[in-house]
């Protein structure tokens, strides 16, 4: 039990010239136990027994004496805190992943919405052959890229191809090895 008496018992006994042995007899405890109480060592005593001793000391010393119990500080369980921290980190990780997922989904949704509404989307065309090719009557040098914006029913006409042409759409990457070809974005789209 942790706590203390509201007055210094040893000082009161000395100031009133009382015998410690006689007080221990009146309290009905051993001299050793009473000496422990005077040294403020209350191990082995319950709250009730210390309150009883304080009442009997009140009568013997003719003073108002009470035992004041000190509340033991609550020690936090570190394992609970570690689990809470791990749980919070895991939750933030999931929130972060959801944010990335929502970003990617919204990006795709905007792209599909653009195509559905008849607007354009980007196609990157790269000439991987060693010779220049003709792209919609424009020359595209070897190992060069070009961004073409396509809308529904637009055509890309490639001529004089002696190697590979790479078409990179938002959906797929196509590698085409044909001399002359056309690419058409087709689809039935209802316009408002």
> What pLDDT sits at residue 100?
94
In tens, the pLDDT along 47-65 reads: 888 888 889 888 888 889 8
Average pLDDT over residues 114-128: 78
188: confidence class by pLDDT, cuts 50, 70, 90: low
104 in a structural domain: no
86 in a structural domain: no
Q: Whole-prediction pTM value?
A: 0.41
Q: How far apart are CA 177 and CA 167, in angstroms?
A: 11
How many separate domains does the chain show? 2
Q: What is the CATH number of the domain that holds 58?
A: 1.10.260.40
192: confidence class by pLDDT, cuts 50, 70, 90: very low
> What pLDDT sits at residue 95?
96
Domain range for 44 is: 3-69
Average pLDDT over residues 61-84: 75
Specify which residues 157 forms β-bridges with.
Answer: 182
Phi–psi pair at 83, nearest 5 degrees: -65, -40
């Amino acid at each position: 039990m942790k706590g203390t008496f509201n007055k210094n018992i040893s000082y009161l006994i000395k100031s009133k010239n009382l015998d410690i042995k006689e007080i221990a007899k009146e309290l009905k405890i051993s001299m050793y136990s009473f000496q422990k109480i005077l040294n403020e060592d209350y191990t082995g005593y319950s709250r009730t027994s210390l309150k009883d001793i304080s009442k009997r000391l009140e009568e013997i010393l003719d003073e108002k004496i009470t035992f004041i119990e000190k509340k033991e500080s609550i020690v936090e369980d570190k394992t609970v805190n570690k689990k809470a921290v791990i749980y919070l980190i895991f939750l933030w990780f999931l929130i972060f992943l959801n944010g990335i997922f929502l970003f990617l989904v919204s990006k795709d949704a905007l792209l599909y919405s653009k195509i559905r509404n008849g607007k354009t989307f980007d196609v990157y065309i790269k000439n991987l052959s060693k010779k220049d090719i003709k792209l919609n009557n424009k020359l595209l040098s070897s190992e060069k890229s070009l961004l073409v914006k396509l809308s529904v029913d637009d055509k890309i006409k490639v001529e004089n191809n002696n190697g590979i042409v790479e078409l990179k759409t938002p959906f797929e990457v196509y590698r085409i090895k044909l001399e002359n070809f056309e690419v058409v974005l087709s689809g039935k789209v209802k316009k408002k």
